[in-house]
Structure 1
Amino acid sequence: MNRASGGDEAPAPSSPQQIRNVVLVGPPGAGKSTLFEHLVAARVEGRRPREGERSSSTGLVAASFASGEVVVNLVDTPGNPDFVGEVRAGLRAADAALFVVSGADGVDEATKMLWRECATVGMPRAIVVTRLEQARADFDETVETCRRVFGDAQPLALPVQPDGPATTVTGLVDLLGAGADATEEVLARRGHVVEAIIEESEDDTLLERYLDGEEVDAATLREDLHTAVATGRFFPVLPTHATSGIGLDEVLNLVEHGLPSPADAALPTVYRTNGGDFGALSCDPDGPLVAEVVRTTTDPFVGRQSLVRVFSGTLRPDDPVHVSGHLQQFAGEEIGGHRDHDDDLDRVGALSAPLGDDLRPKSYAIAGDLVVVARLAVAETTDTLSSPSRPALVEPWVLPEPLLPVAIHAKSKGDEDKLATVLQSLVSEDVTMRLVLDAETHQVVIWAMGPAHVALLTQSLEERHHVAVEAEPLRTALRETFVRECEVQGRQVKQSGGHGQYAVCQLKVEPLPRGSGIEFVDKVVGGAVPRQFIASVEKGARAQLDKGVLAGYPTVDVRVTLVDGKAHSVDSSDMAFQTAAGLALRQAANETTVAMLEPIDAVDIDVADASVGSVLADLRGRRGQVHGTEPSEHEGRTVIHAEVPALELSRYPIDLRSVSHGTGTFRRAFARYDYLPPQLVKDVVAGTR
């Protein structure tokens, strides 16, 4: 949705029952973009397929068009796992999914993972089989695999391939419309699909009557197909050959008659912005306005554009709206770059219906519709739009956690100040990106989903915002700690005319157990250090420990005891004793008294059973400690529980994909600090590891 186009106004449904919001989901190479473009071209007069001119590999693309008696909002999502956030946004925008499976590649692990994304949110699904003309393609085998892996997958049509599997598709055999003159095989397969459909019928007697020989008319089958798909337990399968147009009408007919409308779909949970109950919500154009931003983009020519799903009410240009976003509230933790906010500042700009890369003007958007809104200056992806008189907050969809950290800096000194501003702009668009300005390592760190995501972010910085950046070695926030007891004297004695500086303090330093923090003890006797300077010694010691005593990392888990000292009646001062305390600690620190501590993360890895051995071997090479395994909630998978040094996890999203053949996912959380092996200390401190 990058450029506005003129022309006729987009089709405007008059009720939610006339809308179908459908998302295309599938792995890379399955042919989603080709299918998307040919489906749109099949219903939009004068439009030609544009799959060679754009790609949905990095972001979702939407198109709104009329098909029969309904308006279809079709959303194409990327298959690259780096952009699973875009897939989840597409699922929130839609009410049903067309799952695109390559007849040549079948159901691989990536396909299963995407299927689970849909199943998690209870999305009604149908399956479209593509690439049937390619080597190794076999429609029947693909259907059987889908049935085995996904559940009750039944073909509504069969491909006609005169020269056998893996050859050009010349037509389809409609199983539901097959008559008595059809072949025995077609009639048998028709019987299977009819039985599967009417098993979900609201008429409990229909299946028994059908098995007794009663014919089921087409209207009843169509109605029961809609019911069966809506249950999320029955998955119709259709073969296609998009470039020749075969199967496109059948897919669109399934969308029109078999997939649910927004009026039939479940609504997300809605609250008042103060946390109270918002009340019952329905997909009603006359209800209170509740809408959600599912994607945000910024175009250099037309500015910010927001793809918005309207759940209730009607959205019109120039309407004042309340904008609320509370990602941190729902996550229960700080999310870098995504602040919680409530604003009554935005007015709705022009409304448009997306048509691939083009936009068509739209007068309003009713409950259930999908629309592009211009100039929502403060709205970010996942934000809620509602009436200022009744502010609402939609619970956001489950966000994937970005696990690949990359430290960057501006190539040009002149762009350093600009970089922070444009990064915040990217964060507002992309809820799968985290921005951390690390006060300890003094680095700008973006957390991304994977290398393709990083490449997209850096490309956006350079091409859209004209800020070139480059990566730098990621520094880990280490800690220092004393490992043996020592006693040392700090002297700050200077005379330079007038009042001098005089302070002497004798400190004993002792290690404490992990997690104990810093303790300061005063054991001075006889007034060797005047009472007014005891606090100065403590302040100076704590300040030095915060800065580090050996390599510049904060020092933790230590007890500092003031045992003796000296003062001068004229030249002693608060600052002199602070300085003396710091000098004492630095003198106490050396390679025999101080050790480095590194952060250790608790890691849970969910991986296909076949890859468990490879993942365990890889963990051992990362100095990981495996604490156990257990069956995953998903069949055929295992969860590995381990603790791994954070130093070893900076590239783990990339490496895990490699060792698990794309089947692994993981979560990480800080667990504790532990000793960094001596052989690594020099490399880490020098920044070479």
Structure 2
Amino acid sequence: MNRTSGADDAPAPTSPQQIRNVVLVGPPGSGKSTLFEHLVAARVEGRRPRGEDRSSSTGLVAASFASGEVVVNLVDTPGSPDFVGEVRAGLRAADAALFVVSGADGVDEATRMLWRECAAVGMPRAIVVTRLEQARADFDETVATCRRVFGDAQPLALPVQPDGPATTVTGLVDLLSSSPSASGVDAGVFAQRRGEVVEAIIEESEDDTLLERYLEGEEVDADVLREDLHAAVGTGRFFPVLPTHASSGIGLEEVLDLIERGLPSPVDVAMPRVFRSNGGEFGELACDPSGPLVAEVVRTTTDPFVGRQSLVRVFSGTLRPDDPVHVSGHLQQFAGEAIGGHRDHDSDLDRVGALAAPLGEDSRPKPHAVAGDLVLVARLAAAETTDTLSSPSRPALVEPWVLPEPLLPVAIHARSKGDEDKLATVLQSLVSEDVTMRLDLNPETHQVVIWAMGPAHVALLTSSLEERHHVAVEAEPLRTALRETFVQPCDAQGRQVKQSGGHGQYAVCSLRVEPLPRGSGIEFVDKVVGGAVPRQFIASVEKGARAQLDKGVLAGYPAVDVRVTLVDGKAHSVDSSDMAFQTAAGLALRQVANESTVAMLEPIDAVDIDVADASVGPVLADLRGRRGQVHGTEPSEHDGRTVIHAEVPALELSRYPIDLRSVSHGTGTFTRRFARYDYLPPQLVKDVVAGTR
């Protein structure tokens, strides 16, 4: 980021009550980023809106500016479902959300899902309706949809469209303070809408008598309504709706007024859970500039000109340049399992660099950041996204926000031999920035696999490797970690007999190989009688057999669920050795392995798919085409949706995030977890072993 040309230092609030942290969310094409640009330009002198809607945006864009008596930290988020991780980071950075809904397109499934996430944590929300001049746009119908989908959505203003819906918006009518005679809209519509919003606001009023007085005919002053609006929005049950036409400036002041006077400050919202970094509760914590320092990295970027920058939300205390900080990251601890590329870590070696307030693609210097503020921090070398910053004298750990699981695996390799060693290092750098990326250096398939959210996410990661780190990569077919197993009992004999001067090698072992039930592992049994194999070499036979099974006996995949019994053998008093018997055991297993005695096993994943009811049929049909076994369905916890429980071969899931999005028209989500290994159909064995499937 560059310093804005000619701009003064950024506003630096001294109290959390002066701060409003607001995130814009909405699908691509909703006009969300256009709204962001015009809101910022309306308050930052000399700034011009930059282009139209950033439909292809891949990351957070934030701006900090003064508006009235408050400082607004406004965060724009990507619309693509591939970057839902950035949206969730924006939700952690903010205290309220503005849902941007196109008046022409309505509410899509991704927006509904995000609304449910906000509702689950009680985040205050408001709705901004855009694109009202487009064909099919209808403000009244959009409000009706929002009420049906979201709940108590009430317009605070009505658009003035003299030529009817889907025409130019020439102004707004404020329902809280305007009069019917000056409204510019139908008097009956005005009266109905005003009555609905006034009743909804005063129902949340702390004055228990206000609703009764209003129903008895008392006129409620507009200033009283605006004061109660703040309380109504803060409940997370009342959702103001505002129409806008951002490019002409209509509705911008109303949105900014809602942010200033209707949305909560950081002291009005719940703090995330905080622990001591070495375990246990941290203790009482409040949004207090004089409290202990607790902050969280919500985004990490690396710029070729300014280096590493961290977008940080301060929850408690005050952050100043050159402060020493404890950096703590424990994603694995909270997830309860290893997360590829994201190791738990703690460090006292970091020191805060220069502070700056974001301003879109630019930034402005900032002297400090108090509790509740959002700030850019330079040169936090050890800090990754979701990491906690705290005082070294009182290390803290903030529970990270809920992270989406990347489910699209892509195997890559460096395009040139010279970049192979560098690739692992730069991939780790990307992982530290992007918590929705997983890195798997698979020891079985010997592939480098990145797990991403979707094709756009993959494209971003690969372009970052090439453009920022100068490492070009290519995708390659994803190999599946198969297993081998014996399918029928068989007898095997291995002979290692060599003589080449000095001590020779002599070992003969006779083995009985038998299949075991799935999940049994490897068993070794000694049934030698009469000392045919000397006691000191029994362990050598077992070691050799286990080593060969681990390497595979037919196609190079580990063998599982086998019992190996040593039944007989021969030894030489001089030429027998530990290595000779290890070799003989391996030879025995390889010689008896063929397509009739050994089968291939493939991993099977348990899959839970949450999908809109209308898409259940197509999803079930698609699962059958993937050799899936459906074990049942049940209603989702969300109305109008169904959860499908199935088992599907992992081989068939490599593109499932893309295909499910297509077959469910964007309504489906799923989780997967390893369930078991099962037989790979014979017709697929050759293709899989050859790497063509």
Bin the TM-score by the shorter chain: over 0.9
State the Cα deviation string for residues 642-664 of structure 1 (Å, max 9, x = none).
00000000000000000000000
Contact 1:605–1:666 (CA<8 Å) still a contact in 2? yes
State the Cα deviation string for residues 13-39 of structure 1 (Å, max 9, x = none).
121111000000111110111000000
State the Cα deviation string for residues 524-553 of structure 1 (Å, max 9, x = none).
111111111100000000000000000000
Mean CA deviation greater in 11-20 or 649-658: 11-20
Name the CA distance, whole Å, in 2 between partners of 1:623 and 1:53.
42
SS of residue paired to 1:510: strand
Contact 2:104–2:134 (CA<8 Å) still a contact in 1? yes
Structure 1 residue 596 displacement after superposition = 0.4
State the Cα deviation string for residues 146-190 of structure 1 (Å, max 9, x = none).
0011000000001111111001111001111979996xxx54211
Contact 2:491–2:592 (CA<8 Å) still a contact in 1? yes
State the Cα deviation string for residues 188-224 of structure 1 (Å, max 9, x = none).
2111100011111111111111101112112211111
SS of residue paired to 1:220: helix
Matched, 1:292 2:292: no
Q: TM-score, normalised by structure 1?
A: 0.98
For the structure 1 residues 134 and 218, does the alpha-carbon distance in structure 2 shift closer, same or farther, using more than 3 Å as the test?
same
Contact 1:6–1:360 (CA<8 Å) still a contact in 2? no
Contact 1:33–1:51 (CA<8 Å) still a contact in 2? no
- Equivalence for 2:179: none
For the structure 1 residues 435 and 180, does the alpha-carbon distance in structure 2 shift closer, same or farther, using more than 3 Å as the test?
closer
Contact 2:314–2:371 (CA<8 Å) still a contact in 1? yes
State the Cα deviation string for residues 113-139 of structure 1 (Å, max 9, x = none).
222232233211000000000000000
Name the CA distance, whole Å, in 2 between partners of 1:3 and 1:559.
69
Matched, 1:576 2:577: no
Name the CA distance, whole Å, in 1 between partners of 2:462 and 2:321.
34
- Equivalence for 1:26: 26
Structure 1 residue 271 displacement after superposition = 0.5
SS of residue paired to 1:306: strand
Contact 2:21–2:265 (CA<8 Å) still a contact in 1? yes
For the structure 1 residues 656 and 624, does the alpha-carbon distance in structure 2 shift closer, same or farther, using more than 3 Å as the test?
same
Structure 1 residue 355 displacement after superposition = 0.1
For the structure 1 residues 69 and 350, does the alpha-carbon distance in structure 2 shift closer, same or farther, using more than 3 Å as the test?
same
Name the CA distance, whole Å, in 2 between partners of 1:4 and 1:506.
80
SS of residue paired to 2:676: strand
Mean CA deviation greater in 187-196 or 39-48: 187-196
Structure 1 residue 5 displacement after superposition = 5.8
Mean CA deviation greater in 427-436 or 114-123: 114-123
For the structure 1 residues 634 and 671, does the alpha-carbon distance in structure 2 shift closer, same or farther, using more than 3 Å as the test?
same
Contact 1:57–1:79 (CA<8 Å) still a contact in 2? yes
Name the CA distance, whole Å, in 2 between partners of 1:424 and 1:175.
53
Contact 1:448–1:454 (CA<8 Å) still a contact in 2? yes
Mean CA deviation greater in 588-597 or 47-56: 47-56
Name the CA distance, whole Å, in 2 between partners of 1:251 and 1:28.
20
Counterparts of 1:272-671 in structure 2, within 5 Å, are: 272-671=276-675
Q: TM-score, normalised by structure 2?
A: 0.98
Name the CA distance, whole Å, in 1 between partners of 2:261 and 2:228.
10
- Equivalence for 1:105: 105
Contact 1:157–1:175 (CA<8 Å) still a contact in 2? yes
State the Cα deviation string for residues 457-493 of structure 1 (Å, max 9, x = none).
0010000000000100000000000000000110011
State the Cα deviation string for residues 579-610 of structure 1 (Å, max 9, x = none).
00000000110000000000000000000000
Name the CA distance, whole Å, in 2 between partners of 1:6 and 1:385.
32
Structure 1 residue 242 displacement after superposition = 0.4
Contact 2:295–2:313 (CA<8 Å) still a contact in 1? yes
Name the CA distance, whole Å, in 2 between partners of 1:436 and 1:658.
26
Structure 1 residue 7 displacement after superposition = 3.2
Contact 2:509–2:569 (CA<8 Å) still a contact in 1? yes
Structure 1 residue 108 displacement after superposition = 2.0
Matched, 1:214 2:233: no
Structure 1 residue 110 displacement after superposition = 2.3
For the structure 1 residues 576 and 3, does the alpha-carbon distance in structure 2 shift closer, same or farther, using more than 3 Å as the test?
farther
RMSD over aligned CA atoms reads 1.4
Structure 1 residue 111 displacement after superposition = 2.1
Contact 2:243–2:251 (CA<8 Å) still a contact in 1? yes
Contact 1:603–1:644 (CA<8 Å) still a contact in 2? yes
Name the CA distance, whole Å, in 2 between partners of 1:644 and 1:380.
35
Contact 1:3–1:357 (CA<8 Å) still a contact in 2? no
Mean CA deviation greater in 121-130 or 651-660: 121-130
- Equivalence for 2:43: 43
Contact 2:298–2:386 (CA<8 Å) still a contact in 1? yes
For the structure 1 residues 621 and 180, does the alpha-carbon distance in structure 2 shift closer, same or farther, using more than 3 Å as the test?
closer
For the structure 1 residues 683 and 433, does the alpha-carbon distance in structure 2 shift closer, same or farther, using more than 3 Å as the test?
same
For the structure 1 residues 633 and 54, does the alpha-carbon distance in structure 2 shift closer, same or farther, using more than 3 Å as the test?
closer
For the structure 1 residues 2 and 336, does the alpha-carbon distance in structure 2 shift closer, same or farther, using more than 3 Å as the test?
farther
State the Cα deviation string for residues 550-575 of structure 1 (Å, max 9, x = none).
00000000000000001111111100
Contact 1:324–1:392 (CA<8 Å) still a contact in 2? yes
SS of residue paired to 2:606: strand
Name the CA distance, whole Å, in 1 between partners of 2:604 and 2:124.
41
Name the CA distance, whole Å, in 2 between partners of 1:492 and 1:389.
65
Name the CA distance, whole Å, in 1 between partners of 2:473 and 2:55.
24
- Equivalence for 1:81: 81
Structure 1 residue 54 displacement after superposition = 6.2
SS of residue paired to 2:402: coil
Name the CA distance, whole Å, in 2 between partners of 1:9 and 1:126.
30
State the percentage of identical aligned residues: 91
For the structure 1 residues 421 and 331, does the alpha-carbon distance in structure 2 shift closer, same or farther, using more than 3 Å as the test?
same
Structure 1 residue 683 displacement after superposition = 0.4
For the structure 1 residues 269 and 178, does the alpha-carbon distance in structure 2 shift closer, same or farther, using more than 3 Å as the test?
farther
SS of residue paired to 2:285: coil
Show structure 2 runs of 5+ residues with no match: 177-181
SS of residue paired to 2:620: helix
SS of residue paired to 1:229: helix
State the Cα deviation string for residues 219-277 of structure 1 (Å, max 9, x = none).
21111100010111000000000000000000000000000000101110000112111
Name the CA distance, whole Å, in 1 between partners of 2:29 and 2:263.
25
Contact 2:34–2:53 (CA<8 Å) still a contact in 1? no
Name the CA distance, whole Å, in 1 between partners of 2:268 and 2:612.
35
SS of residue paired to 1:165: coil
State the Cα deviation string for residues 318-375 of structure 1 (Å, max 9, x = none).
0000000000000000000000011101000000000000010000000000000000
Structure 1 residue 396 displacement after superposition = 0.2
Name the CA distance, whole Å, in 2 between partners of 1:573 and 1:3.
74
State the Cα deviation string for residues 355-400 of structure 1 (Å, max 9, x = none).
0000100000000000000000000000000000000000000000
Name the CA distance, whole Å, in 2 between partners of 1:688 and 1:621.
19
For the structure 1 residues 510 and 350, does the alpha-carbon distance in structure 2 shift closer, same or farther, using more than 3 Å as the test?
same
For the structure 1 residues 88 and 181, does the alpha-carbon distance in structure 2 shift closer, same or farther, using more than 3 Å as the test?
closer
State the Cα deviation string for residues 373-429 of structure 1 (Å, max 9, x = none).
000000000000000000000000000000000000000100001110000000000
Contact 1:2–1:299 (CA<8 Å) still a contact in 2? no
Name the CA distance, whole Å, in 2 between partners of 1:481 and 1:261.
62
Contact 2:234–2:264 (CA<8 Å) still a contact in 1? yes
Show structure 1 runs of 5+ residues with no match: none
Aligned residues: 686
Name the CA distance, whole Å, in 2 between partners of 1:430 and 1:452.
14
Contact 1:33–1:56 (CA<8 Å) still a contact in 2? no
For the structure 1 residues 4 and 318, does the alpha-carbon distance in structure 2 shift closer, same or farther, using more than 3 Å as the test?
farther
Structure 1 residue 112 displacement after superposition = 1.2
State the Cα deviation string for residues 607-631 of structure 1 (Å, max 9, x = none).
0000000000000000000000000
Name the CA distance, whole Å, in 1 between partners of 2:449 and 2:542.
34
For the structure 1 residues 206 and 178, does the alpha-carbon distance in structure 2 shift closer, same or farther, using more than 3 Å as the test?
farther
Name the CA distance, whole Å, in 1 between partners of 2:585 and 2:363.
68
Tell me which of 266, 273, 280 is aligned to 1:269.
Answer: 273
Contact 1:64–1:355 (CA<8 Å) still a contact in 2? yes
